[in-house]
């Protein structure tokens, strides 16, 4: 419940304040969002599995975001930022799909 409320409140706040993303953050924000989404899906799945742990969730959330942003940052430094961010998005997308499949099995039994 709390995560859902937090998400909704965050979306509303973001729409309401509509802040300008700082230039240096702009390449990393979408990647960070995708990574955090991955963590949220994983947390949801763990919750359905009955093994949800707040510490794991928090750490994985933060480390996901940080690692994803770091990879993209390194890629930008190496001149392959576009490709690396594509790679990160692909990997995270696969994970999200996997977690979504597990969630689906729990919810729909199929």
Partner 1 sequence: MTEERPQGRPGPDGPDDDAVPHPFGPGRLGERPAEAEDTAEPEPEPSASDDPVEVEAAAEPEPPIEDEAEDTAEPEESTEPEDAAEPAEPEETAEPEPGDAAEPEPARSKVAITARRGRDPLAAALIGVLTLLLGFAFAVQVRNVGNDQALSGAREEDLVRILDDLNAREERLREQISDQRTALQQLTSSDSQSATALEEARKRAEAIGILNGTVPAQGPGLTMTIRDPDDAVRVADILDAIQELRGAGAETMQIDGVRVGVSTAVTGDPGGLMIDGRPINTPYEFVVIGDPQNMETAMNIPGGVVPRINSRGGSVTIEPADEVVVDALRPLDTPQYASPATGN
Query: How far is Cα 83 from Cα 46, in angstroms, rounded to an integer?
Result: 31
Q: Does 23 bind partner 1 (CB under 8 A)?
A: yes
Pick out residues in 52-71 that bind partner 1 (CB under 8 A).
53-70
Q: Does 84 bind partner 1 (CB under 8 A)?
A: no
Residue 50 DSSP code: T
CB distance 32 to 68 below 8 Å: yes
**Most distant pair of Cα atoms in the chain: their distance:** 46
- Sign, Cα dihedral of 57, 34, 87, 93: positive
Q: Does 12 bind partner 1 (CB under 8 A)?
A: yes
Q: Does 90 bind partner 1 (CB under 8 A)?
A: no
Q: Does 40 bind partner 1 (CB under 8 A)?
A: yes
Q: Choose which of 10, 77, 88, 107 interacts with partner 1 (CB under 8 A).
A: 10
Q: Does 77 bind partner 1 (CB under 8 A)?
A: no
Provide the minimum distance between the beta carbon of 42 and partner 1 in the complex, in angstroms, as a whole number: 2
Q: Does 8 bind partner 1 (CB under 8 A)?
A: yes
Query: How far is Cα 3 from Cα 47, in angstroms, rounded to an integer?
Result: 12
């Amino acid at each position: 419940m709390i995560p859902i409320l937090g998400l909704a409140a965050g979306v509303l706040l973001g729409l309401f304040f509509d802040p300008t993303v700082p230039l240096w953050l702009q390449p990393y924000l979408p990647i960070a969002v995708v990574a955090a989404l991955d963590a949220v899906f994983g947390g949801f799945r763990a919750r359905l599995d009955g093994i949800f742990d707040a510490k794991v969730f928090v750490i994985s959330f933060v480390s996901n975001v940080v690692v994803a942003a770091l990879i993209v940052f390194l890629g930008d430094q190496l001149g392959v930022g576009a490709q690396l961010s594509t790679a990160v998005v692909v990997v995270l997308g696969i994970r999200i799909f996997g977690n979504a499949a597990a969630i689906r099995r729990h919810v729909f039994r199929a």
